[in-house]
Amino acid sequence: MDAAPGRPGIEPAGFAPRVVAWQRAHGRHDLPWQRSRDPYRVWVSEIMLQQTRVETVLRYYEPFLQRFPDVRALAGAPLDAVLAQWSGLGYYRRARNLHACAQQVCERHGGEFPRERAELEGLAGIGRSTAAAIAAFCFSRREAILDANVQRVLGRAFALPRPRDAASLRAMWQLAESLLPARHIEAYTQGLMDLGATVCKPAGPDCRACPFAADCPGPADAAEAAPAARASRGAARRTREWVLLWARSDEPDAARVWLQRRDAQGIWPGLWSLPGHDDAAAALRQAAELGEVLDQQAREPVRHALTHVDLLLRPLLVQLRARPRAADEAQHAGWFTVDEALRLGLPAPVRKLLGG
């Protein structure tokens, strides 16, 4: 681990104390999940923060806890209610794992989260780093975290390449464990998270604000940034276009819309949605199967960005005199009032279309 010319390099023994001191002086202290050592609240925040910005999570965290105030409330809720509350956060597999994990905590552990990392790792959706964070924040366990942000901090601080295989990842875990302080594990763990999120960012790191600015061997890490920048420029995002059949039947008591549950794989897995079609003709064929078409109107297209693809959604509002038809359990489809629909797990753009 040679330091860059002119930089002395970071002493491993002094790494943790400097992180702790920096966190206490400059780190984040006002995030809502920092106000409690309740493992339920910490766990929910950790799952929400996976691949999601803090600013986004702040809009969802408290409403989620109001709807599901403890692990038993979450475990006993219908999955659709959980997905509905999660709508807009994306990566919906996290919500399904959250629900499954809550049930496991209740069934296997009497409604109490395990205190040890190894036991936490045995629960749905909790990996090693998330388990370590819960154990450190809630039970003061000396456990190392190593999410993508922390990998970047340690990689730059100790001039290590980004882990590309099991051996290099294992070596970085060993480094992370060797740096753990004997005390103040909560402040140290939070400090690593704060450094990675606010200072040692992937692009444009704020090196002047870093506690290791004077001796970090790779604060700008051009070797890491350049390939990523080239890949970003070279990888054109795909656009996928759907016509959304917005079939609406005006009933005496309330208008109803036809929704279908999407497959467990692919885009919006397991969520309820307006049916998507390749073109308007296909959408109208389905509409004709649902009832007599009275009117149709193409609505303004909606663009929605997912991680690896952009969706161009073209809503086609079709007024129907619907044939009597109950919910199709086999196809996971049916007529719903708008109020009923908004209580289901809907993709964010569909929820917005329906008025949610």
Tell me the β-bridge partners of 169. none
Amino acid at 19: V
Active-site residue 112, yes or no? Answer: no
CA distance 270 to 93: 9
260 closest CA partner among 348, 339, 347: 347
Q: Are the CB atoms for 32 and 61 separated by under 8 Å?
A: yes
Backbone angles phi, psi at 238, to 5 degrees: -80, 150
Model pLDDT, residue 225: 46
Catalytic residue among 11, 46, 186, 300: 46
Alpha helices in 128-239 (DSSP H): 128-139, 148-157, 166-178, 185-194, 222-234
Name the DSSP class of 181: -
Out of 1.10.340.30, 2.60.40.10, 1.20.1440.20, 3.40.50.150, which CATH number does the structure's domain 12-232 have?
A: 1.10.340.30
Tokens of 200: 């040692």
CA distance 260 to 336: 10
Q: Chain-centre distance of CA 195, in angstroms?
A: 20
Model pLDDT, residue 331: 60
| CATH topology (fold) of 238-354 | Nucleoside Triphosphate Pyrophosphohydrolase (3.90.79)
CA distance 149 to 49: 12
Model pLDDT, residue 36: 87
Sign of torsion, CA 48 52 53 55?
negative
Alpha helices in the chain (DSSP H): 12-26, 39-49, 54-67, 71-76, 79-86, 93-109, 117-121, 128-139, 148-157, 166-178, 185-194, 222-234, 280-290, 338-342, 348-354
CA distance 57 to 50: 10
Question: What distance, in Å, lies between the first and last C-alpha atoms of the chain?
Answer: 54
Model pLDDT, residue 58: 96
Sign of torsion, CA 95 53 143 128?
positive
Judging by DSSP bridges, how do beta strands 238-250 and 309-322 pair with one another? parallel
Residues of CATH 3.90.79.10 domain(s) within the chain?
238-354
Residues of CATH 1.10.340.30 domain(s) within the chain?
12-232
pLDDT under 70: residue ranges of the chain: 1-8, 219-236, 325-331, 356
